[in-house]
Structure formats: structure tokens, C-alpha cells
Structure 1
Amino acid sequence: MLKLALLSAWLFLAALCPPLLAADDAMDIRLHKAAAADDVTAIRALLAGGAEIDARDASGATALLVAAHGNKVNAARALIEAGADVNAKDGIDDSPYLYAGARGHLEILKLTLSHGADLRSVNRYGGTALIPAAERGHVETVDTLIEAGVDVDHVNRLGWTALLEAILLGDGGPRHVKIVELLIKAGANVDLADNDGVTPLQHARGRGYGGIVALLEDAGAK
């Protein structure tokens, strides 16, 4: 009876008290928090103490991806220089490289490019970093990715290239006009149509984007 009572008491306490995190798990969590806070001193101390540099949080993000989310350049630099994987993807196929490119976080993007970024990697829509950068009007980012050698004519799962997204999801303003100009200069196929057979020029005319229309016509688009 005594043993049964002790067992019941132990089970009751176990139900009330969640299991303690392993020391390594707690350290990895602190690494993610240090990345979010841009705390380089803490990052270096945690890594020196044995924290796993590419450990994942509940979303599958590494500490480097957390730093990229917040555009924490100092944290990203410290992690990348310590060997963090710039191509490690989370549960929705974002990597530090892809996220920095899509969001126009230029300094972090350049760090990833100089440390092994996979230019052929794609996001959950099947698009390269160039496509969302073009859509969102990140001129310098688009220029940087073109110079790095990203395929300007890559087609995502929606049937869109960077040129098409700059028109379809852009606003036709100066930033998107400049991006179209950069893509044309980089050799983008100006007649590569979407899944419905509509060309970039037809989309630009339909939206009244005169500056883009002029660029496409000068490039011989149909």
C-alpha cells in the first residue's frame, strides 16, 4: 500500500511539473533569443559553451533565420562567420538567404551570398529570391541578386517570372520601373508569358504602366 501511495504521489507531481529542458536545449533556445536581440556577445558565449549553431525552434527556424527575420545584421554576421548554414530552411521553406532577399535585407543578403548561398534554392512558391524582391520593389536587392547570377527567367509555381511579378504585383512606380529596366538589361525574356499566355507587355498595358510599357517596347516585346 505504501509503495502504491508513493507511486500515485509521484505520478501526480509529474503531471503538475513539466519535464525540465535538457541543458543543451535551453542553451539553443537562448541562442535564438540572443539572435533576436542582436546580442553578439551572448551569441559568441553560447556558441563557445556548446550551443548548436543550426538548432531549430518550433517553426524549424535556426538562430540565423531568426536574425534575418528581424534584420539583425550584427547577429547574422556573428552566426554566419561562426559557420551557420545560410541555406537552412524552416517549416515553410524560408532560409536566411531566401528571406533576406525577399525582404530586401541587403546587408544580410550580401553576407549569405559570400558564404555559400544556393542561388537555385526556391521558396514555398517555387520562386527564387529574385522574384519576391522584384515584386516588393527592392531595387538594390534585385541588382545584387542579378549580379550574383540568379536566373532572371526562373518561373515559379504560379507561372510567373521576376519580370511578371514586378508588373503583376508591383505598383508601376519608379522602383518597379527601375527593376524592369534592370531585368531587361540582364537579359530577361520580355515575351515569356504567364500560364494563361499573357505577356509582360500585355499586363503592363492593361494596368496603364506607361514607364514599363515603354521599356518593354524598346526591348522589342510583343
Structure 2
Amino acid sequence: MTGGTLAAEAKGTAPMLIEATIAGDIAQIKAAIASGADLEQRDAKGRTALLIATHADNPEAAKLLIAAGADVNAKDDILDTPFLYAGAEGRDDILKAILATGKANLKDTNRFGGTALIPAADHGFPETVRILLGTGINIDHVNNLGWTALMEAVILGDGGPVQQEIVALLVDAGARDIPDHDGISALQHARKRGYAAIVERITEGRRPL
């Protein structure tokens, strides 16, 4: 399909934009945007084109959509947004572009009641954690499971170098060791698992509750 034909067909229709984004076709994405496609049209899972581009880790497509004004906080059927997903899955180039808009809802939460920082910490993305800690995000937010980013970095990690780095970033940024719903702290969990380096790091930087 030529760009001209696409522009004619895409005017006022977002499905063309969705399809182009799924295909990762930058030329078609540009043409759909230029022809006025609805940036907030959803696919069968409730995802916008920007969220689809974020899932695909396609910074070029995502940046085009962000520049065109796509909503960085648009929820899909499972309560993910481009911002939340970029943080959770370490899509750092896209995350930076989203944060640069100044429109990311730092207080927004996923289906587990967690901010973007919490899954970034437990999924093992230190650079993403570093980026998010440079914002005003609540470092001590507690999700529906009763866990903070520090807690998840300990109990959902393997205690290895990556998780050690993430724990250090959180502790250095002022994260408090808030106990879980059972009254067990991240430090206690780390001790139980034999994560000596993490125990030492939390102990060194532990702040009173």
C-alpha cells in the first residue's frame, strides 16, 4: 500500500494506526498520524498504539506517537499503561521519552497496586530503577501484597549482583525497610535466604520507620 493510499484510508481511523504499530511499520505509522488517526483507539486487549509499541520495545514508533500527543497513561484491560509497562519491563528509551513529556502519572498503579518502580526493582532492571528514582515517584509505596520496591527486590530476586545493585540504589535513595503484611522486613527475608551482601547493604543504610 502506498503512503498516499494509506493517508486516504487512515483519515479518522485508528485501526490503521494499530495495525501499522503491530507491524512496526514506521512509514505507515507516520502516515496514519499525519492523516489524523485517533491515537487512543484500542485493540482487542484495550491497548493503544503507544502501549503496543512499548510492548514491542520499539522506541522509534513510541517516540513518534508520544510526539503526536498519545496518552502515556492510557490503561489497557489489565490496567497497564505505556508508562507503567515501560517501567516494569525496562523499556528505558521509551520510559525516558515518556518522562520527558512531564505527563507521566507517577502515582499510577498496576493491577497489583504497584507503581512503576516496584516491578522494575523485582524484574532486575537497575538502570530503570535509577531513572525512576530520578523522578518524584514514591520510593516506599506499598502494593496490594504489602510489598515495597525494596521488599520485592529481595524476595522476588535471586540475591545476585543485579539485585544487590538494585537494593543499593533503593537504600541509597532513602528506601525504608517497611515490613510486609506478616510483619517481616526485607532485611529479615534477606537473612532467611542467605543473601549476605544484601543483608549488609540494608543494614548499612537502614533508616528508621
What is the CA–CA distance in structure 2 between the aligned matches of 1:147 and 1:122, rounded to whole Å?
A: 18
Number of the residue aligned with 2:95: 109
Query: Aligned runs of 1:53-68 on 2, under 5 Å?
Result: 53-68=39-54
Cα deviations across residues 178-221 of structure 1 (Å, max 9, x unaligned)? 1100101111112x100000011100000111110010121247
Q: Shift of residue 98 of structure 1? A: 0.3
CA distance in 1, matches of 2:172, 2:36: 48
Distance between the aligned counterparts of 1:103 and 1:220, measured in 2? 27
Comparing 36-45 with 148-157, which one deviates more in the overlay? 36-45
**1:121 aligns with one of 90, 108, 133:** 108
**Aligned: 1:202 with 2:202:** no
Instruction: Report the TM-score, using the length of structure 1 for normalisation.
Output: 0.86
1:24–1:50: 8 Å Cα contact kept in structure 2?
yes
Match of 2:166 in 1: 179
RMSD: 1.7
SS at match of 1:196: coil
Contact kept, 8 Å, 1:34 with 1:42, in 2: the verdict is yes
CA offset at residue 26 of structure 1?
Answer: 9.4
Judged with a 3 Å threshold, the aligned counterparts in structure 2 of structure 1 residues 35 and 24 are, in CA distance, closer, same or farther, namely closer
**2:4 maps to which residue?**
none
Q: CA separation in 2, counterparts of 1:221 and 1:146?
A: 17
The alpha carbon displacement at 1:164 in A equals: 0.2
After TM superposition, the structure 1 = structure 2 runs for residues 121-160 of structure 1, keeping only pairs within 5 Å, are 121-160=108-147
Shift of 1:78: 0.4
Q: Find out whether 1:78 has 2:64 as its counterpart.
A: yes
Q: Which residue identity does 2:143 align to in structure 1?
A: N
TM-score normalised over the length of structure 2: 0.91
Q: What's the offset of the Cα at 1:38?
A: 2.6
How many residue pairs get aligned? The number is 199
CA-CA distance at 1:51 after TM superposition: 1.2
Other-structure match for 2:33: 47
Q: CA deviation at 1:48?
A: 2.1
2:149 to 162, 172, 176: 162
Contact 1:201 1:221 in 2 (8 A): no
**Unaligned residue ranges in structure 1 (runs of 5+):** 1-22
2:107 and 2:11 map into 1 onto residues whose CA distance is: 32
- Please give the alpha-carbon distance, in whole angstroms, between the structure 2 residues aligned to 1:167 and 1:67: 30
Answer yes or no: is the 8 Å Cα contact 1:36–1:66 preserved in 2: yes
Partner letter of residue 108 of structure 2? S
| Change over 3 Å in CA distance of 1:25–1:54 after alignment to 2 | same
Measure, in 2, the Cα distance between the counterparts of 1:140 and 1:134: 10
Contact preservation (8 Å) 1:180, 1:212: yes
Structure 1 segments of 4 or more deviating over 3 A? 23-27
Shift of 1:46: 1.0
- After TM superposition, list the pairs within 5 Å mapping 1:4-23 onto structure 2: none
The structure having more radius of gyration, on CA atoms, is 1
Distance 1:122 1:25 in 2: 34
1:20-43 per-residue CA deviation (whole Å, 9 max, x = no partner) reads xxx779942221121123322211
Q: Please give the alpha-carbon distance, in whole angstroms, between the structure 1 residues aligned to 2:106 and 2:124.
A: 20
